[in-house]
Amino acid sequence: MDFKNPINEYYHYILYILLTIVLLYILLLTSSSKSNNFALYPSQPTKTFNMKMYGDELEEALVGASTEDKMVIIAIVNKAYVEGDKPMLDIFLDGFWLGEGTDDLIKNLLIVAMDQISYRRCKFLHLNCYKLETDGVDFVGEKLYMSKDFIKMMWRRTRFLGDVLKRGYSFVFTDTDVLWLRNPFTNLSQNKSIDLQISSDNFNGNEWSKSNPINTGFYMIRSNNKTIALFDNWYAKKDNSSGLKDQDVLQKLIRGRQFRNLGLKLRFLDTVYFSGFCQNSKDVKAVVTVHANCCRRISAKMADLTAVIHDWKRFRSATLNETLRFQWTSHDHCRDSWRN
């Protein structure tokens, strides 16, 4: 009579279970690899996936650049601002690098490109980028101040920024010929009852006075029904404002009845802090931004902004006595740009 060894039976049973588990694992791994194209190396989310997640490319770009409370910094460029040995975009970014408390703001900066070349440059620099559709209009090269193409480009900008407000995003708009030498949010009021805070070419000393001449090259605006209505009214006047740029039309709105009827609260920014070539800051220890306004050509702006950067470096490395004697370099290139 044969007696089976219970220990051998136990080992055979364990071996059978282990083999079954191994076979099942191989089958599952093979199936997963075929269906997921090797799950160990997942692909990046597709454009279609992102479109479903965010709605469209602009929303995706705004989400990527904005703060938790939906505030974003916006600058607009074209080919003329990204090409050359030291293009305007690079000078603009130098300000963030060399400024006080500004380098971390880059993550909230959205560069809006008006052509494929400037978009590619933006992506190469690993910035937050968005390619603006321009309705078949050529916005590639330099648009001379107050030329027909310049005015068209400014109105396209206004339309785009109005769309940003309608999506619930507040923003600081900045031209790329504005150097950020200090964090502007320390001098921009965080009072949410102030709808618009805007720079001035020549500040008259009263931050609430509508006689201040505005400059749309730098401003902070909050998204609400009042500001959305303002941008709608502003853009609606495009075709009835021949020969006027968008800034001129907004100036008329601010001083007119429509602005008052909307109940908007407006603050003008002191040029001691938010300065420009029209009116230099009198205090380098307080200045926040320097705008190459009162200037006609990009080449002149770049030359004089480069001088501002050298002035800033000189101030940062100066002794106390040298700081007391500090003066900005004269903006000769911009002054001469009006003669040609």
In a domain, 18, yes or no: no
**Please, what is the average pLDDT of the chain?**
85
Question: What's residue 37's pLDDT?
Answer: 37
In a domain, 312, yes or no: yes
In a domain, 167, yes or no: yes
Q: Measured between alpha carbons, how far is 112 from 72 in angstroms, rounded to an integer?
A: 12
In a domain, 239, yes or no: yes
In a domain, 200, yes or no: yes
Kindly report which listed range (34-43, 84-93, 233-242, 307-316) carries the lowest average pLDDT score: 34-43
Q: What is the DSSP string of 123-188?
A: HHTT-EEEE---TT----S---TTSHHHHHHHHHHHHHHHHHHHTT-EEEEE-TTEEE-B-GGGTS
Structure tokens at 49: 């996936």
More confident residue, 275 or 6: 275
**pTM of the prediction?**
0.81
Please say if the pLDDT value at position 55 is more than 60. no
CA angle centred on 86, ends 181 and 147, rounded to 5°: 90
Q: Measured between alpha carbons, how far is 52 from 88 in angstroms, rounded to an integer?
A: 35
Least Cα distance to 215 among 251, 184, 180 occurs for: 251
Kindly report which listed range (12-21, 30-39, 213-222, 263-272) carries the lowest average pLDDT score: 30-39
In a domain, 21, yes or no: no
In a domain, 160, yes or no: yes
Phi and psi of 251, rounded to 5°? Answer: -60, -45
Question: What's residue 9's pLDDT?
Answer: 60
Least Cα distance to 227 among 203, 256, 263, 191 occurs for: 263
Highest mean pLDDT: which of 52-56, 80-84, 310-314? 310-314
Question: What's residue 156's pLDDT?
Answer: 86
Kindly report which listed range (117-131, 227-241, 260-274) carries the lowest average pLDDT score: 227-241
CA distances from 132 to 37, 118, 207 (A): 34, 11, 34
Q: Into how many domains does the chain fold?
A: 1
- Three-state SS letters, 71-121: EEEEEEECHHHCCCCCCHHHHHHHHHHHCECCHHHHHHEEEEECCHHHHHH
Look up tokens 């006609």; give the residue.
296
In a domain, 89, yes or no: yes
Phi and psi of 220, rounded to 5°? Answer: -120, 130
pLDDT digits 0-9 by tens, 164-201: 999 999 999 999 999 999 999 999 999 999 999 999 99
Please say if the pLDDT value at position 203 is more than 50. yes
- Give residue 80's domain range: 50-337
pLDDT digits 0-9 by tens, 79-126: 999 998 999 999 999 999 999 999 999 999 999 998 999 999 999 999
Residue 315 belongs to domain with CATH number: 3.90.550.10
- Measured from the Cβ of residue 270, the count of other Cβ atoms closer than 10 Å reads 20
- Measured from the Cβ of residue 143, the count of other Cβ atoms closer than 10 Å reads 20
Q: pLDDT band at residue 8, thresholds of 50, 70 and 90?
A: low
